[in-house]
Structure 1
């Protein structure tokens, strides 16, 4: 910034003071009568001391009503977890579940009394049942909320399960016992097992069973063109085959060979299943003639529980092959499984060292190979990849519970 301009006013001031004189003011006195055009005074900085000395103010304390409400909710949550643990411990028998429900009735009543003193809630914020039990009624298993049987949310029909599925019945009872309010029962993500069972019952009681099965089969066969087990990563030329860590391509080939060999031995004999996306391919390769027709006929012949389980597992893992193997392995109704071929395959698998088991963990790893491999290299996103893994396991676990039962053919040896 340029300095303020200064102008000598001697030639202006002298005539005004003495208009008759012609005396000239010396040059040395000109500086004393100069003036700057800038008249704004300069403001100096003021150093202000720190205000608010002393300790910080005390944090606000919760009200007595809030403390009582938190204590009541904590005690109710603890009592509910204890009941759930006991329910799981005695899930082997229906009579044990009845004794458990009566043993904890008094403790639950006390917890609800404390809750009423601690807070005021509406009917939707608090569940209307106290005990959840499994009862055998007219040759089937029913879940009772106190004295009320559990009903289908749409048809209002009583949900009845076969006597050969006590584990499914107790898991359903545990799901409803974990709810804390009636409003939670309207949210599908909180009652996944209930929705799956109702889906199986809807298939069984459909007024147009052929159309329903055809629609489900058409949807599931679309996943055969983009199956998770049939899509391979490109071959890495820089990968050392002798290294301890296998490449993603090798893991995908192992899962593909194991699952396809099992299915073509038990469920779909006489066909071959080829990868649909290999390496850098952009469009899926169609299966051999007759393969799609064999799989379609197998899906159409499944029981309602097997078909509902296959649908749930396929949508969860994006793999028809992994879902089909789960159904064939665990279904108590066989799902078209050949006993003779099953024995030979189990002996072959035991020779390979894995015992021929394909459960929830094995299925979830098979459909998540690429995600696990990528997150192992670059890390996983919190609350995304971990949640997805648990959700896939939950969906596969509900499928196993739905199709299995006491009539399941156990593996020999």
Structure 2
């Protein structure tokens, strides 16, 4: 069983939590001016405060009251819009910004799963976090339609990050990616480093090959050029920062432009949970179901479906949370801490996988 918990090694904690938010942010802004407006107000990546306003929507009502206020839920296919609408007591749900919670025809499975969430919420006090699929689907709709908010309610949409800023924010995690940082050789009696050297290099090599092939096929890279991801070795590098080169950053941003809004939201959820852009890429490559998109966007370096890069949710959890897994395996779990975090990781990544499917 995978064991999830908090990190105790000071060096890696500083690198993965502190430097990932400060050093990498500063260095990235200096290197990607072509994609960032220096005069635009900054918005913190991953923070969405739309739930805090008073727009009349069911998601806001649940967040404020914490009580069940409906009898039944279901899915209605709107033949005019070709969307699946999730309904409570016959009325279409609304997102935090007040848009109909309506999913495209290709997301039929997700629509029924969202309805299932509302059907099975208990009558006791609940939080909106008990609806992870609803949260991700609503975020995708609000991100995609924030510019359509009525002028009188424009202020409510200002707390929703712009899609372009969302892409840049996710890319910052590639600088100090969890899977690009190798622990000291004495951490966890040396066992952590051994396991990292077993599972991280294959992931790094695969992602380098993937982005190199994508760059060449889209005329971003010459045939002689290839992507090399920079890693950080705590044994010899100490607390220095880690920054990917400008060509890598621009190419990955170009790949992000290929993703639809649901894939972007799934990627964001995975990156925020694992602190790893590579884990997010692996989740999308393993779960997007459209054959054409798999070949043109997610498996460009593979010739046949048998060779597709694939990782289960549990394998991605191991990649993103290896240090804690090693620690709790060595010293045991703390009740009501590690088990709760374990469920949080599994719920977050499984939800992201379903939304991207």
TM-score, scaled to structure 2? 0.66
Partner of 1:271: 227
Partner of 1:165: 107
Aligned equivalents of 2:200, 2:187: Cα separation in 1: 21
Secondary structure of the 2:70 match is coil
Is 2:285–2:310's contact at 8 Å kept on the other side of the alignment? no
Within the candidate set 372, 377, 381, 2:325 is matched to 372
Secondary structure of the 1:284 match is coil
Partner of 1:34: none
Partner of 2:162: 212
Aligned equivalents of 1:145, 1:265: Cα separation in 2: 47
Secondary structure of the 1:226 match is coil
Partner of 2:33: none
Partner of 2:135: 195
* Superposition map of 1:246-285 within 5 A: 247-269=191-213, 270-280=226-236, 281-285=238-242
Which deviates further from its counterpart, 253-262 or 134-143?
253-262
Is 2:75–2:115's contact at 8 Å kept on the other side of the alignment? yes
Aligned equivalents of 1:167, 1:238: Cα separation in 2: 43
2:332 counterpart of 1:358: no
Within the candidate set 337, 351, 355, 1:384 is matched to 337
Partner of 1:66: none
Aligned equivalents of 1:375, 1:257: Cα separation in 2: 23
2:301 counterpart of 1:341: yes
After superposition, the Cα gap between the structure-2 partners of 1:337 and 1:126, relative to the gap in structure 1 and judged at 3 Å, is closer
Secondary structure of the 1:394 match is helix
Q: Structure 1 residue runs of 4+, over 4 Å off?
A: 236-239
Aligned equivalents of 1:312, 1:338: Cα separation in 2: 18
2:76 counterpart of 1:135: yes
Aligned equivalents of 2:121, 2:188: Cα separation in 1: 53
After superposition, the Cα gap between the structure-2 partners of 1:126 and 1:326, relative to the gap in structure 1 and judged at 3 Å, is closer
Partner of 1:144: 87
Aligned equivalents of 2:243, 2:299: Cα separation in 1: 31
* Superposition map of 1:212-231 within 5 A: 212-231=162-181
> What is the RMSD of the two structures over their aligned residues, measured on CA atoms?
2.9
Whichever of the two has the greater Rg, that structure is 1
Which deviates further from its counterpart, 139-148 or 253-262?
253-262
Aligned equivalents of 2:264, 2:194: Cα separation in 1: 32
Partner of 1:90: none
Secondary structure of the 1:142 match is strand
The structural deviation recorded for 1:317 is: 0.9
* Superposition map of 1:9-408 within 5 A: 127-138=68-79, 139-155=82-98, 157-181=99-123, 184=126, 187-207=127-147, 212-236=162-186, 247-269=191-213, 270-280=226-236, 281-332=238-289, 334=293, 337=297, 341-343=301-303, 346-347=306-307, 356-404=309-357
Aligned equivalents of 2:177, 2:289: Cα separation in 1: 26
Is 1:131–1:177's contact at 8 Å kept on the other side of the alignment? yes
Matched residues, number = 264
After superposition, the Cα gap between the structure-2 partners of 1:125 and 1:282, relative to the gap in structure 1 and judged at 3 Å, is closer
The structural deviation recorded for 1:136 is: 1.6
Aligned equivalents of 2:319, 2:299: Cα separation in 1: 25
TM-score, scaled to structure 1? 0.58
The structural deviation recorded for 1:295 is: 1.4
Is 2:182–2:233's contact at 8 Å kept on the other side of the alignment? yes
Aligned equivalents of 1:391, 1:127: Cα separation in 2: 22
The structural deviation recorded for 1:166 is: 2.6
Gaps of 5+ in 1: 1-123, 240-245, 350-355, 405-413
